[in-house]
């Protein structure tokens, strides 16, 4: 292709791509190899930020917690009890079954500012039996998930705000086998790159809102069946300009 055409395409495509950049990689401080799940008690805060501003990096002991493969039944690195907060931690390979969350009515559990650099079996699980609490997941990044990132097995309201996901199967999945619980999911300000589905729900009473999403190379924004419903607003596929111009210039 002629150089000026390449330059023109790059100019047109670049501003769009710039919006979907990965968040800054945090510089890690010390690494902790977790042999036994770290429990954050109800209402308590666990902050992995070190005095010099770096974040602590956690990896699983593969024999004690799990290798981070797709095998079910692995243990989490962190277990958050109702109203707990987890922030400023890096989870890295192997991250086993990530973070488990137990909620309770009237309580808000927070996962704020964490980076999972290599998602294990999954990254965050809202545990079965969690009853109508709220889980707020914000300013987080999730990389390299073989399949699911956020697995919802309990009836909490799960709010996912200002997050980034790269390489995944399903970013959010409500339990596929269980009863038709009234799951609630809100996804806002998400950037997603390379995946199958941002939200998959197959439960008759599951409801979701999905808004302000930028994505590229994701097959489906929502995958809904058996009466699950989602309202979707302001979702933009990045890279369509490139495809459009590629088609036009392909005819030269
Ligand atoms: C699978 C399984 C669910 C649940 C989930 C999880 O999807 O079918 O029942 O166990 O994994 O929480 O990892
Ligand atoms: Ca699983
Ligand atoms: Ca799991």
Q: Which of 78, 75, 122, 117 is nearest to 99 (CA)?
A: 78
Q: Name the pLDDT band for 116 (thresholds 50, 70, 90).
A: very high
Q: Is the pLDDT of residue 18 over 60?
A: no
| Ligand located closest to 123 CA | 3
Looking from the CA of residue 153, the nearest atom of ligand 1 is 12
Closest CA to 224 of 245, 235, 209: 209
**Residue 125 near ligand 1, beta carbon < 6 Å:** yes
The protein residue with its alpha carbon nearest to ligand 1, atom 11, reads 72
Which element (helix H / strand E) includes 17? helix 3-18
Residue 129 has a pLDDT of 81
Q: Report the pLDDT value the prediction gives residue 82, as an integer from 0 to 100.
A: 96
Q: What is the pLDDT of residues 214-236, one digit of tens each?
A: 999 999 999 999 999 999 999 99
- Which tokens belong to 132? 């109508």
Distance 150 CA to ligand 3 centre (A): 9
């Amino acid at each position: 292709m002629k150089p000026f055409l390449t330059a023109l395409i790059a100019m047109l495509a670049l501003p769009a791509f710039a919006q979907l950049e990965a968040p800054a990689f945090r510089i890690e401080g010390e690494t902790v190899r977790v042999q036994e799940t770290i429990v954050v008690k109800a209402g308590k805060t666990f902050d992995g930020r070190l005095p010099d501003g770096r974040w602590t990096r956690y990896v699983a002991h593969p024999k004690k917690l799990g290798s981070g493969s797709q095998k079910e039944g692995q243990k989490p690195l962190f277990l958050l009890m109702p109203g707990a907060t987890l922030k400023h931690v890096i989870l890295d390979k192997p991250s086993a079954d990530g973070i488990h969350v137990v909620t309770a009515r009237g309580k808000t559990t927070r996962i704020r500012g964490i980076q999972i650099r290599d998602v294990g079996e999954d990254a965050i699980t809202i545990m079965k039996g969690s009853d109508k609490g709220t889980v707020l997941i914000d300013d987080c990044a999730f990389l390299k998930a073989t399949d699911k990132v956020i697995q919802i097995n309990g009836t909490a309201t799960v709010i996912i705000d200002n997050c980034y996901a790269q390489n995944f199967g399903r970013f959010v999945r409500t339990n596929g086998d269980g009863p038709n619980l009234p799951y609630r999911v809100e996804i806002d300000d998400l950037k997603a790159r390379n995946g199958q589905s941002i939200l998959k729900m197959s439960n008759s009473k599951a409801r979701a809102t999905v808004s302000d999403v930028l994505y590229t190379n994701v097959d489906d924004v929502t995958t809904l069946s058996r009466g699950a419903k989602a309202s979707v607003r302001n979702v933009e596929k990045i890279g369509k300009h490139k495809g459009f111009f590629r088609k036009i210039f392909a005819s030269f």
